Each structure stands twice: as C-alpha cells, then as structure tokens.
Amino acid sequence: MERQTMPRSWPTLATIGLCALAAGIVAFWGAQDKQGQFQIEMLSAQPELLLFYGAPYVVLAACAWCSRRDGETSRGTWFVAMLLAVVSFAAYWADHRTYLHTPPGRETAPMASFLATILLWLVALVQLVALGVRKMTGRRRSP
C-alpha cells in the first residue's frame, strides 16, 4: 500500500494564500475610519500607502511562486512568510487599536506598523535576490 503524501506545491499555495490574506487585512485595517467603519474612499485617497504596506506581500508571493519546484526553498519561503505575518500583524494591530481608541486631534504616527513594513520589505527583497542568485547560478543543495 502506498503512503499518501501531501503535494509538493502545498508550501507555495499556503504562502500565496497567506500573502493574499495578509494584504487584504492590511488594506481593510488601513481603510477604516475612527469608528471602525470600512471606507473604500480611504484606499483610493492614498494609493502610495496601500502600495507601501501591501506590496511586500506581493513580493513574498512572487518568491513563493519562483521557489515552487524546490521543496526545501518553498518550505523556507512559507516559514519566512508565516514569521513575518505574525510580527507584522502584531505591529499593525497595536497601531490600529491605538488609532481607534485615540481621541481626534491626539493621534500619533503609526511607528510599529511602519517599522514592521520596513522589515517586510527588507526580508522580501533579500529573499527575492537570494532566489534569483540561486536560479542564475544553478546551485542546488546536495541531499
């Protein structure tokens, strides 16, 4: 009897799904007003913020797609995406909660989510460059 195994593509699909979910949550939190109501106009008012906060997840999803044929690299990309999502969600939620509970006129800059996004950008770009170098040199780890 053959043993059932998970398809090799599960880390890629999980990473792309996680990145889509994370980008959606970040966009949803970013488009809420002080009462917690979603306002689509807030997304279109500042598209550069949407790009800054959401694009690292697109880069991570691209890393997952590029590493889909290499199981070890694909699992590594999934682990990095999970770790970054946990760190960034904690930072985003802390800033979002502060924003919702701060009286008008006394708001502060959302530094935790900004720093988490800088970390996301750095790790995502380093990972993308590392994948590119690995593909160009044709290096594979020996078993």
55 assigned to some structural domain = yes
Whether residue 3 lies inside any domain: the answer is no
pLDDT digits (tens, 9 = 90+) for 96-110: 888 888 887 887 778
The torsion angles phi and psi of 106, rounded to 5 degrees, stand at: -120, 20
**Domain assignment of residue 65, yes or no:** yes
Average pLDDT over residues 107-127: 89
For 67, how many CA atoms within 13 A lie in the half-sphere containing its CB? 32
Looking at residue 121, which CATH number applies to its domain? 1.20.120
Measured distance CA(8)–CA(18) in Å, rounded:
17
Which 3 state secondary structure label does DSSP give 32?
strand
What is the span of the domain harbouring residue 47?
A: 10-133
The reply to whether 2 falls in a domain is: no
Encode pLDDT of 5-17 as tens digits.
556 678 888 899 9
Calculate Rg over the CA atoms of the chain.
18
Q: Is residue 18 part of a domain?
A: yes
Judge whether 138 lies within some domain: no
Q: Can you tell me the mean pLDDT for 52-59? A: 90
Does residue 26 lie in a domain region?
yes
Number of domains in the chain: 1
